[in-house]
Structures are given as structure tokens and as C-alpha cells.
Structure 1
């Protein structure tokens, strides 16, 4: 996002590292990882504005005319008061750490709440906040699921493929018998097909019992309910949602950015001698350019797991647009339909 503005990019990275590792002599409580990620997301709005104005540092906001331009820019975006307040809090965070980082900003701290109220009459009351305790429980469950599954990712993928191939074989046998003149209850008098009965008949002709295909995996994961194909499908769905939660929760990416993650989205970067876990994705505003987010090591686990689980699906799916090409977030809702890009994430997250 800031490759064309290296001075801004470097300054933003320095502040972010400080927030991530509490690199401040003030003795204040460190931000949580998600807190540092959220602060980065908030201040990126300001750095994007500075880039558009051809500025090289946050210090440019010490200019009254430029600060007025920033206020007008934020107003034009239609942000709610809460969003604006968090943006100003992020600026104050940079101001507070500037001295320690030896970055002369010469900006007075902003009265974030007052300024947010001045710039917006949207109170954002419709925003729902998830209690921190519940957030920790959700993230903990998601991480535990993917870490347990990763050692068995290839077996999971092989099991899914075997179940699909078993279905295709059963369908082929049944369709062949229909062509030979056999009659079945799913065949209506008017020539139409009762799809529910047809699916049941296919199951009857599958060469192998689904349970026998799942049992090797069930032996590896004795604590996971995997008695039949429905339970396997449910478990696979949980792993997909858990991976999505980990990638989103520890990066601060928006839905429109998350849904374009591919097997190549994770990488490592080194800054000030420290190794950072990173995610990259396409963005709407910058076309084919990539935007990057600092994330946690668990995101690599999620990406690695999804890369293996969706390998076949990605080769069979038809993506709605080339910008989604090779996206990891696929699902096959039924054996009779091809894999599709997941779109109803709110429903999946609620079920999780």
C-alpha cells in the first residue's frame, strides 16, 4: 500500500513495532496483539491521506491547513464518531511514542472524543462490541482446532476427496442402470426427478460405506465426532471458519480483504532485527497492488491448513471474479454441486 511512499512506510512500521512490543519507557500497559492491529488499521487512514498529499511524515499535520484538509477528508468518508475517535487515538499513540523513536512530530495531542463529535453526528450505536472474555474464548477455540488438525491436513484432504469420488462412482452406477431401463422411485410419472430420493438412491450405490473412508481420520482424532459423512462435513466447516477467524482476528483485515487470501498470502518480514508474520491481499482501491498486514504465527497455521484442505476445490471452483482467483475460502455445500466461494460469513461465524 505504501511501497510508493517509503518514508511513510518506514515511519508507520516503526510506530507499529513500538505498539506490538510496548517499546516505550512510560511503563504503560502493552496493547494486546489485536489492539495493536486495530490501531494500525485506524492510523492507516491518516497515512493514506498523507500519501495522497505527497507528504513524508505524520509531522506534516503540524501544518494547520493540512490538518484542516485531513478533517475534511475524514468527514467526506462518512465515518461514525467511534471510528473517528479511534483514528485520533491512534494519532495520539504515535505522538506519545514519537520522542522515544526519535521522530520529531511537533503535534499537540488531539482531544479525540471532542474532535470526533465535531466532525460527525453519527454516534455508531448500531455497532455491537464483543466482550473481551468472549473474544479470547473464540480465538482460543479457533487456534486449538487448526493446530490439532494441521498434522492430519493431508489425511483430511484425502478423506474429502475419497468421499467425493465415492459419490461420483455411485452416481455413475445409478445413472447407468437408469439408461439400461431400470425404474426407481425417484423417477416421476411426468419424467421429472425427485432430487431428494435421487440423492438417497446414489448413496445406496456408492462402492464403499462413507464410514469406512472416514475411520482412518477418526482414529487420529478420537476426540472429534466423526462417525459419519455429516459429522465429517461439520468438522471441515469448523476448520474453515476457525482459519478465517484466526486470519481476520490477528490481522485486522476487512472481509473484502480476507476473502482474497490465497496459499501465497503469508510471508515473513524482518524489521529492526525482529521477524514479523505478515499477510497480503488484493485491495479494491489499488487494483493489482498488494496491501500487507502484521499478523500472528497462528495465521501461518491457518493458511497452511486451508492450502491443503482446499487444493482440489480450488482446481474445480469457478470464481466470481479473477481477483478472487485461488482464494482459500471455498466450500462444497453438497456432493452434487461444485465448490463455491463462501459469501455468507456472518451465518458461519454465528454458528461457530
Structure 2
């Protein structure tokens, strides 16, 4: 990396007032100007407030994270707190990743990628700490490099995890000239090296699992039924959610009035603590103007899925299942990435008529190779899923829009996947679907059978070890968002609904090889349920043998001239044919027994 290529370089979506001034952090570090160095802004929110400085042990980078589904929004350096020199060095590397441009890339690296890199780099720094080394550049020394690889091998990591660790080290290596570190040049391929030092059973990259057909049927049948039923009552469901939240707010206000008036002094002693919030919410529930069961009974009288004893707990469960069902429908019938699903809004669905046929689409954004608008072809049920989710989160979006002061805040407030699981908290985007989809799998009855397990092994040739560790007969299927994308590609190929080129277009892949990777196992699985028609095969064999026999009969008993060495031999035999060639039946038997062929 050349020094003249270094500059502050943030994503296009970041406002100018969020861009910190360029600082020579290397100079300050060499001069040990710790106060000035620690005060350098790292992240500024859209209002101009500094939310992270160089000296912070945790860098909060949330204002810079573009993708809405990112679960990690900060870099935590606490593991290096007891080693100041290594702590500052890793911070310099992360600063370089965040704010410098090198000639290797045409676009800035996504903040979420940098956060992931920092996580991978910590393993290298753990090695430095355990061996009392003072700089990451020491790893490049030949005698230390071998010990470092032995250390990684002892961790018993998978090849994929080791690639992540080694790539982070490689990216840090590119910053050494800028940092002024003395180092010995060392070249290695993270992919090839990881296969040599990973644990034996984890050499190959484990692929996301394609869901077995019977389990997929149960999951999708459960989701579609929930959405279909809820769609007819979507306005009532949305109003129920709004009224129950409003009911809590009124109870909350009653408790607040008692505290302000001085009637309740016992509840103010721990104000701001988790215990206070727990007791406050508990007391607020006692002062509800209406019983949640009454609200549900009033608004959902005709709702088929409502039991006679429906109460607030039932509604909490029902709302969670409906949210998961809508997510499953959108993911399973579009093949969208999780980050793309988070770009959906209440206006994302539309349809168009071509040649008399109606096609259904979702429009949104993709973040591969920069943010851009695009669209996906989807199944009709997706329209209902979007409309149900829009009704359920309408009041949440309206609430967030009231406080939105910037264009980004307004965009985030339009997200379809909002939740307010705890009535006392602000509405927020659902950041992790793992627990929700686990519960959804249980409620749908998606239990793995021996047949499902066998099919899973056949359908996922690149994930045999993963199946042994994570798929268990008699247990519920462990569902994850990316499985829907993999499963759609797999079943498209298996059932001849499309090819890898169609998958590439639908999945917004950059390379056809990636689409083919998603389709792995699709073609071989076509043969699983294929049965040979013995009668048809016998008929085909008979016709083939008769044609060959007829060909030989015409040669032996015909008058036309034959050429070639074999043809000349037949001409010599015509005057005195062997007995076995004089009868058509005998000739046919020779052909049938494969004693004579055309080859």
C-alpha cells in the first residue's frame, strides 16, 4: 500500500457531517501523544455527535452500518485491555481498515465486513499475548510463523474459520507500510493453508443445508395457512396490536402519575436499573384500563385461530408466529438474502401482466457490489404476507416516523420487520431470526424422521459433517434464514423448474459458479425416486434386437454389394452360409445373446 493512496474513505450513504477529520494517527502514536490520540473521533452520528473515540475500549459503529440486519455493530477491544501496546496497534489497524483506501479495491469495504475482520484478527492477538510478543509484525518472522500455525492447528478450527482468521491477518499485513512496521514479506493462500491446519473432518467448506422435502412441506404449509387465514383479518389484527400497546401505555401513565404525585416512593429508589424496569412494568400491568382478553375478544370475535380463552400471552405467541410465517413466505418464495429481506417495506409488492399472465414481484435493495435497487419474482402468497405484516407493524412504523429526524431514520422506520416484544421498550427491527425460526419449526411440527435424515444426506453432499452434528432424528429441524435460499435453488434444479442461469438472475449472484454451488445435489436427487419400467425396457430391448437381426439378415441374404473388410467377408459367406445364419430365429438368438453385435 502506498502512503499517497491513504485518505478518509466512508460509504456513499454516510453524510458529510459524519466524516471525521483526517488525523495522522501514526504520528501521534509514535510521539506517544495518548491524550490527543484517544480523543480522535472514530464515529459520528447523523446529528454530528461523536459516539466513538479512538481511546474507547468499544467502538460503537452503528451509524456507519448500512445493512439493516447486521447483528454486530461495534468493535470490542476489551480482550487486549491488559496489553496496552497490542491494544493501540490493533486500534491502528482497525482505523486503517475504516478510513483508508488502497489501490486493491474500487469500493470502500463495508463496515460490517470490517467488524468481522476485527473479530478474526483477535485470534492472532491472542497468540501474541500468550507468547509475550509486542507486535503483530513479529508473526512474519520465519521461526515464529511456524509456531503461529501450530497454535492455529491446536485450536481445532474448521477450514472456513481459519480462512477468516488468516484473511484478517493478510488484510492487516497490507497496512504495515502505512503503520511504519518493519516486517518480513511472507506470502500465503488462506484457503490452501487453512486446509492443511484445520481439523480433519472440516477440510471442505460446509454448505447451508437444503431442507428435506417433507419438512419443507410442513414448514411452508404451516406458514401459508397462517398467512392465508390472517390476511382476511389483517386490519383487525393490526388494530388489536395497536390497542394492546395503547392499553399498556395508559397503565404506564397511571403508575407514572403515582410516582410524580409522591404516592409511590418505593418504586423510585432503584430508578433506571433492570429491577426498577421490571417492577414498573409489573405495576403498569395492574393498572390496565382494559383486560387484554377483552380487547382480543372484541376485535377478533370471528378469527378462526382464536381460542375461547385467548389472552395477552396467546396474543404474544400468535403475533410471533404470524411474523415468522410472513418472513418464511417472503424468504422461501423469493430466495432473497436476509439483508435484502430487511429492505422490504409495505410498498415493496407489486404485480404486472405480461401476455395475459399476472406476475408477482418484490422490489427492494441489494448490497452486493454497492447498494442498488432491484426486484425479485415471487409466488402470489407473498402479497398476502407483506400486507399482513404491514398491518401488524403499521402503528410501530408511524411511531418511529414521528421521531425520525434524518433520511436514514425515516428509511429505517419503514422496515417491515419491526417488533415491540416488551411493551415498555421502543419498537425495533428484528435483528436475529434464529430463536424465532427455532420456535416456528417446533410449532409447525417439523420433526426429523429417518427418511428425512437420509434425504438430507443425499441432498447435501458438501455438508455431511454438518448434518451429523446438527440434524438429529426425532428432534425439530434447526431452521435458519439462509436455508430458504439454498432450498429454493435445490428444488428448482431437482424439479426442472429452471437452471443455474435462472437462479443467478433471481439470486442476484455475480458469478454463475456461485449459483451452481447453491444448486449442488439437485441433479443427482432426481434419480432418488426413479423406478425402471421393466416391461418398457424389455420392449425396447426386443425392438433393438430385431432391428440388428434384420440388418444382419439383409447382409447375409441380400444382393447388394458390401464394402470394407467385414463386408467382403460376408460376401464370401453368401454362397455357403453357415447353418446358424440361415434361420432368422437362430440369427435373432445370436443377437439376443450378444454373440454378434454391430460394434
Q: TM-score range by the shorter chain?
A: 0.5 to 0.7
Q: Within 5 Å, which residues of 2 pair with 1:2-21?
A: none
In the alignment, does 2:245 pair up with 1:171? no
- The answer for the alignment partner of 1:205 in structure 2 is 287
Matched, 1:220 2:302: yes
> Equivalent residue for 1:240?
323
TM-aligned CA distance change 1:185 to 1:214, over 3 Å? farther
Over 3 Å counting, the alpha-carbon distance change for 1:230 and 1:272 in structure 2 is: same
Tell me which of 325, 347, 364 is aligned to 1:264: 347
Q: Distance in 2 between matches of 1:290 and 1:297?
A: 21
Change (3 A) 1:178 1:293: same
**CA–CA distance in structure 2, aligned partners of residues 351 and 293 of structure 1:** 28
**Cα distance between partner residues in 2 of 1:190 and 1:339:** 22
SS in 2 for 1:194: helix
Change in Cα spacing, 1:180 to 1:328, as seen in structure 2 (3 Å) is same
**Matched-pair contact (CA < 8 Å) for 1:282–1:323:** no
Q: What are the superposed Cα offsets for residues 15-60 of structure 1, whole Å, 9 maximum, x if unpaired?
A: xxxxxxxxxxxxxxxxxxxxxxxxxxxxxxxxxxxxxxxxxxxxxx
Aligned partner of 2:430 in structure 1 is 342
Equivalents in 2 of 1:185, 1:149: separation in Å? 44
Taking the TM superposition and a 5 Å limit, the aligned residue runs for 1:136-151 are: 136-151=217-232
Q: Is the 8 A contact 1:185 1:197 kept in 2?
A: no
Q: Residues 191, 222 of structure 1: CA spacing in aligned structure 2 closer, same or farther, 3 A cutoff?
A: closer
Q: Do the aligned residues in 1 keep the contact of 2:235 with 2:391 (CA within 8 Å)?
A: yes
The runs of 5 or more residues in structure 2 that have no matched partner are 1-159, 161-194, 196-202, 441-599
TM-aligned CA deviation for residue 270 of structure 1? 3.2
In structure 2, what is the Cα distance between the partners aligned to 1:295 and 1:123? 33
User: Which of 278, 287, 301 is the equivalent residue of 2:384?
Assistant: 301
> Relative to structure 1, is the Cα distance of residues 178 and 249 closer, same or farther in structure 2, using a 3 angstrom cutoff?
same
Q: Distance in 1 between matches of 2:387 and 2:271?
A: 50
> Would the alpha carbon gap of residues 323 and 125 (structure 1) be closer, same or farther in structure 2, given more than 3 Å must change?
same
What do the CA deviations read for 1:263-286 (whole angstroms, capped 9, x no partner)? Answer: 111111334442211111111146
Which residue of the partner structure matches residue 250 of structure 1?
333
C-alpha distance in structure 2 between counterparts of 1:312 and 1:190, whole Å: 28
SS at match of 1:157: helix
Count of residue pairs brought into register by the alignment: 233
Asked if the contact 2:229–2:304 (Cα under 8 Å) also holds between the matched residues in 1, the reply is: no
**Residues 191, 132 of structure 1: alpha-carbon distance in 2 compared, 3 angstrom cutoff:** closer
Counterparts of 2:228 and 2:266 in 1: how far apart (Å)?
46
Return the alpha-carbon distance in structure 2 between the equivalents of residues 297 and 189 of structure 1: 52
- Contact between 2:389 and 2:416, CA under 8 Å: does it hold in 1? yes
Contact 1:330 1:342 in 2 (8 A): yes
Name the CA shift for 1:333/1:173 in 2 (closer, same or farther; >3 Å).
same
Q: 1:166 to 1:274 in 2, by over 3 A?
A: same
Is 2:366–2:373's contact at 8 Å kept on the other side of the alignment? yes
SS at match of 2:340: helix
Native 8 Å contact 2:400 2:413 kept in 1: no
User: Secondary structure of the residue that 1:343 maps to in structure 2?
Assistant: coil
In structure 2, the residue matched to 1:333 is 421
TM-score by length of structure 2 reads 0.36
Distance 1:178 1:198 in 2: 10
Quote the offset at 1:328 in angstroms: 0.6
The one-character-per-residue Cα deviations of 1:118-149 (angstroms, maximum 9, x if unpaired) are: xxx97433532321111111111101001111
- Return 5+ residue gaps in structure 1 as ranges: 1-79, 81-120
Instruction: Report if the CA contact (8 A) 1:260-1:323 is conserved.
Output: no
TM-score for both structures, normalised by structure 1: 0.60
Confirm or deny that 1:283 pairs with 2:366: yes
Q: Distance in 1 between matches of 2:389 and 2:237?
A: 11
Contact kept, 8 Å, 2:259 with 2:267, in 1: the verdict is no
Distance 1:200 1:289 in 2: 46
Contact 1:310–1:330, Cα closer than 8 Å, also in 2: yes
Task: Give the match for residue 236 of structure 2.
Answer: 155
User: Which secondary structure does the structure 1 equivalent of 2:383 belong to?
Assistant: helix
RMSD: 2.6
Map 1:115-126 onto structure 2 (within 5 A).
123-126=204-207
Distance 1:266 1:343 in 2: 22
Greater relative CO, 1 or 2 (CA 8 Å, sep 6+):
1
Cα shift readout 1:64-83 (whole Å, capped 9, x = no counterpart): xxxxxxxxxxxxxxxx9xxx
**Higher deviation after alignment, 150-159 or 249-258:** 150-159
Give the Cα–Cα distance (whole angstroms) in 2 for the partners of residues 191 and 338 of structure 1.
15
Q: CA deviation at 1:306?
A: 1.2
